[in-house]
Amino acid sequence: MSDKFYPYGRQQIDDDDIEAVVNVMKSDWLTQGPTIASFESDLASFLGVKEVVACTSGTAALHLAMLAAGLGKGDRVLTSPITFLSSANCARFVGADVGFVDVDPDTGLMNVHALETELKRDTTKIIKAVVPVHMGGQPVDMPRIYELTHGHGAYVVDDACHAIGASYEHEGKSYRVGGNPHCDMTVFSFHPVKHVAMGEGGAVTTDDSALAESLRLYRNHGMVKGKGVESESAYDSDGTINPWYYEMQVLGFNYRLTDFQAALGINQLKKLPQSLDKRRGIAQQYYRLLEKHFADGGVRALKSVPDRSHAYHLFVVKIDFERFGVTRGQVMNRLREKNIGTQVHYIPLYRQPYYRRCCSSEASEFPGAEAYYAQALSIPMYPNLTATDCEIIITELKKVLGGNR
């Protein structure tokens, strides 16, 4: 047993990150200052996208995307049931309905055939947006989802909270998730378990400047100052805009990021390529160890789809608990006693009491998500895990499972 605790995910904050934050804390701008724009510009360069709108969380980013897309009551948004609550909640925040699209049980990714069926069924065209999720960091089939969804006249807002740095090939070209060729907006989270940790934080990326303008409006109370004001009372008698004048054009929110969070983000972004390499190296260790210790397939990694480069926010294994004669709860508790943290990503959203009440979907409609959920377990994945740590984790998993055979 290891004497250190391995959580399923954790941040890596170095001295240079702390220094970057402290420098901004000592400056004149704790919020609404220049570091936000620097962070947005660095992220835009990394992703190769025109516009980045930073905000307070991935959840806020999803909400802003729904607002900018103009969604509301009477509209319907489709998402995956295997995701965090926010991917669906954002639709409810604006009064839209939510529908779930089944996933491939071997990847946890949205099944594009199921999406096609849902869109075809929508003869009155109330589906106004699809929110596919790059589950765990593996990209979904963006080109196909975009083709189907745009063909239906709806927006694609991909939830890339797990997938900064992931990419996919399409017709001989490589595309970075969040670079926006096959979607309207992409959403990121900078929560500490994510690749870029900022305490809390999020961003929406888009190539559409009108959407970006709308995202910025909703981020800051729906308020406009200077250029863009509508009312005549904005102007002085000489036609210049009054310096004190501001106006609220829509019902917005305070979803502004602080400058010290942005400073942390800038520094974390610089280290993202190395941390992605480390995550990919750890995944290779796990693949090798699973092959060695569970050659019979009792424990398998999720399937990697060809031509997609995984960002490995999570490392999810599928365990045939029945075959081992042990429950998932027992496995998690016994691993915990060995200082190994695990988690289930995710309980299908249609099983949540709230969504049972407001969507009335039955688990039997989602055989892919049910099969995925029955066996999924996330084991530790973060950049400073060593090869020895991986060995300890898989050996302990084997002991915990083997004890009941």
Ligand X SMILES: Cc1ncc(COP(=O)(O)O)c(C=O)c1O
Residues that bind ligand X (CB under 6 A): 57-59, 83-84, 86-87, 133, 159, 161-162, 189, 191, 202
Side-by-side strand order, sheet with 308-309? 173-176, 167-170, 308-309
Give the shortest CB-227-to-ligand X separation in angstroms.
31
ω before 355 within 30° of 0 (cis)? Answer: no
Of the two residues 166 and 390, which places its CB atom closer to ligand X in the complex? 166
Interatomic CA distance for residues 32 and 20, integer angstroms: 17
Q: For ligand X, which residue has the nearest CB?
A: 58
Residue 383, classed as helix, strand or coil, is coil
Shortest distance (Å) from residue 201 CB to ligand X:
7
Smallest separation (angstroms) from ligand X to the CB of 244: 35
Specify the residue, 47 or 131, whose C-beta has the smaller distance to ligand X: 131
- Complex with ligand X: residue 133 or 166, whichever CB lies closer: 133
Residues 6 or more apart whose CB falls under 8 angstroms from that of 21 comprise: 260, 263, 264
**Cα(48)–Cα(280) distance, rounded to whole angstroms?**
22
CA atoms of 181 and 43, how far apart (whole Å)? 16
**Min dist. Cβ of residue 87 to ligand X (A):** 5
Smallest distance, Å, CB 56 to ligand X? 8
Nearer residue to ligand X within complex by CB, 141 or 159:
159
User: Can you read off the two tokens belonging to residue 185?
Assistant: 């907006």
Considering the complex, state which of residue 160 and residue 392 has its C-beta at the smaller distance from ligand X: 160
Distance from the Cα of residue 267 to its chain's centroid: 20
Are the beta carbons of 316 and 134 closer than 8 angstroms?
Answer: no
Q: Which residue has the tokens 């190769």?
A: 48
Q: How far is the CB of 400 from ligand X (least distance, A)?
A: 26
Closest to ligand X by CB, 9 vs 99, is 9
User: What tokens were used for 373?
Assistant: 């959920």
